[in-house]
Structure 1
């Protein structure tokens, strides 16, 4: 099978597996673990922050960031297509007890005028803005990258109102690769940031939340509250360390593979995909012209040996990673082309108008 559902399907390298076998087995929930501490320090260094806290998932690091930054009843401002708002089971309200306002945006970037108008202090009638949220790269925008100048503008507006900014940087290093900058250049425009080592970086598990020393101390308490403390987490941290040390520099290869995929889909039919929209390792394919829903497309492609994920009723999401090469992409495009020709409704007098 050619698995293009997500970069979370990546498997650890042999070096990672060996490091896991040799890792320390301290109790990170009790008196700490040497390997976990090393990973957290490395993550803080890569983001330019003072400290980090290792957690099982990106959803948890996002949730803990909310709990740590904001008091219950406050309002979070974020782009209306953000992963936190659309794919984290409502933890923002159900667990953190926060109101939220999804602001209109383009390719994952909140409209700055809308943000400026919506930021507000506590009054007799409103709790006020408690947190501003960015996502880079942006999942539902097809891996779009927020420009540094835009992030600087958002951070500046928030600071004018003394409101903290969190960055959901699940694919932070993909964003850095696409922009041609260091990850610290991105993370300087936020107060806290999280990133995953279990996506394109190929570690089996883990996300790290980074911020100031006092912020991370409070975050550790909230991590405990939501069940995120781990016992013998050294082996997982060992893989995470190698992910940061050995896998970041190869991410542009995944971006090139994604561009090849997008160009192939565009040749099948220009309505499916615009290669200019592909900045990192995510490709969104619009199949509405075929007259079939994305879920059926996913099932039919699986029958041809290609695994993809429906993003919505008319969109497929392809994600490239280190196990996908040019031959895999060409096979996937070929399978898509066969189905497209088969399912495309014939032209008639009505459709030609």
Structure 2
């Protein structure tokens, strides 16, 4: 039996072309700022988003936490949605790394509005936690891959600047969002003060994330990265994978989105499925019928050859990626209906 891997787009493997680029990459010591391939990747992503500088690190969690730690101090807070990855899935890093608090809002499938943010800002009062950063996620993982409109981001960005709030983007799947909206990296660079860009999900690199921002911010972040134990040495082989992914594996994200919609259509016909969140990108989140439990259902599906992930007691998540093609989609339909 061939297993169908749909637990996450982090299960992607380097393509032959990516492996060739990795093995042929010129190398140096990045802690000394002398790895030419790491520098090329950082310069490429900074230019793409029209930011002054960038820094390469191991993961989106690290890049998010570095951005928070560089911006928010003890007695201050981050405003974000209750579904945010920075709150739910980063090991309590906001508190552990920055010593900061978090103010959780309930948005629309993880998306916040300017009005919500404005209402959430703490008053200028010694009893209150000082609001310092607003963090958005795009696409929103727990929102089923939901995306922000340009109008919403423009409104939020303008407001945050008027109130001197640092606006950060957890852009783990930012290229999936752009594939849907037609937005450009330069627009996000204008809207946000810092952006975390993951290379190891839909783009297919084996590891790595890039954080972009202005030069003083990135200089501060580099010290934090070192303190976290994130200083690279000959990291150019990994950076080369990121460069290859950005050059050759962005446009194909549309294929993942198409297959995700097909999965949703197939699942909508199943008796044990109660509902499905709107499918916009490469994430499908289904709600199972009352009386069932997601971990039990996930185990049943694994026995049939489908690997997926429980997403709370009532939900199951499927994520499409470059390792899941049309032949796998056909097998998925056969397996899940058996």
TM range (shorter): over 0.9
Contact residue 44 and residue 210 of structure 1 kept, 8 A: yes
Deviation digits for residues 192-226 of structure 1 (CA, Å, limit 9, x no counterpart) = 00111111111111000001111111110111111
Per-residue deviation at 1:333? 3.3
Tell me the secondary structure at the aligned position of residue 194 of structure 1: strand
Structure 2 distance, partners of 1:258, 1:119, is 37
- In structure 1, what is the equivalent of residue 81 of structure 2? 79
Structure 2 distance, partners of 1:283, 1:219, is 34
Structure 1 distance, partners of 2:123, 2:29, is 42
Tell me the secondary structure at the aligned position of residue 232 of structure 1: coil
Structure 1 distance, partners of 2:113, 2:4, is 38
Per-residue deviation at 1:181? 2.3
Which residue, 169, 192, 195 being the options, matches 1:167? 169
List 4+ stretches of structure 1 deviating above 6 A.
none
- In structure 1, what is the equivalent of residue 323 of structure 2? 323
Can you give the 5+ residue segments of structure 2 that lack an aligned partner in the other structure?
none
Structure 1 distance, partners of 2:322, 2:33, is 36
Per-residue deviation at 1:271? 4.9
Structure 1 distance, partners of 2:311, 2:285, is 8
Which residue, 151, 154, 158 being the options, matches 1:152? 154
Contact residue 195 and residue 209 of structure 1 kept, 8 A: yes
Check if 1:309 corresponds to 2:295. no
Deviation digits for residues 75-133 of structure 1 (CA, Å, limit 9, x no counterpart) = 11001111111111110012211110001111111243331112236532234111001
Can you give the 5+ residue segments of structure 1 that lack an aligned partner in the other structure?
339-353
Structure 2 distance, partners of 1:138, 1:187, is 19
Check if 1:337 corresponds to 2:333. no
Per-residue deviation at 1:185? 2.2
Which residue, 121, 138, 141 being the options, matches 1:136? 138
Structure 1 distance, partners of 2:189, 2:267, is 34
Structure 1 distance, partners of 2:150, 2:229, is 34
Structure whose CA Rg is larger: 1
- In structure 2, what is the equivalent of residue 44 of structure 1? 46
Contact residue 139 and residue 177 of structure 2 kept, 8 A: yes
- In structure 2, what is the equivalent of residue 24 of structure 1? 26
Structure 1 distance, partners of 2:187, 2:282, is 20
Structure 2 distance, partners of 1:301, 1:253, is 24
Deviation digits for residues 317-350 of structure 1 (CA, Å, limit 9, x no counterpart) = 0000112123322332343334xxxxxxxxxxxx
- In structure 2, what is the equivalent of residue 104 of structure 1? 106
Contact residue 120 and residue 161 of structure 1 kept, 8 A: no
Instruction: State which drifts further: 203-212 or 329-338.
Output: 329-338
RMSD, matched Cα: 1.6
Q: For the structure 1 residues 33 and 118, does the alpha-carbon distance in structure 2 shift closer, same or farther, using more than 3 Å as the test?
A: same
Contact residue 150 and residue 183 of structure 2 kept, 8 A: no
- In structure 1, what is the equivalent of residue 253 of structure 2? 251
Which residue, 182, 185, 190 being the options, matches 2:184? 182
Q: For the structure 1 residues 156 and 270, does the alpha-carbon distance in structure 2 shift closer, same or farther, using more than 3 Å as the test?
A: farther
Tell me the secondary structure at the aligned position of residue 106 of structure 1: coil
Q: For the structure 1 residues 221 and 121, does the alpha-carbon distance in structure 2 shift closer, same or farther, using more than 3 Å as the test?
A: farther
Contact residue 121 and residue 161 of structure 1 kept, 8 A: no
Contact residue 122 and residue 129 of structure 1 kept, 8 A: no
Tell me the secondary structure at the aligned position of residue 187 of structure 1: helix
Contact residue 310 and residue 316 of structure 1 kept, 8 A: yes
Contact residue 272 and residue 288 of structure 2 kept, 8 A: no
Contact residue 267 and residue 273 of structure 2 kept, 8 A: no
Contact residue 51 and residue 212 of structure 1 kept, 8 A: yes
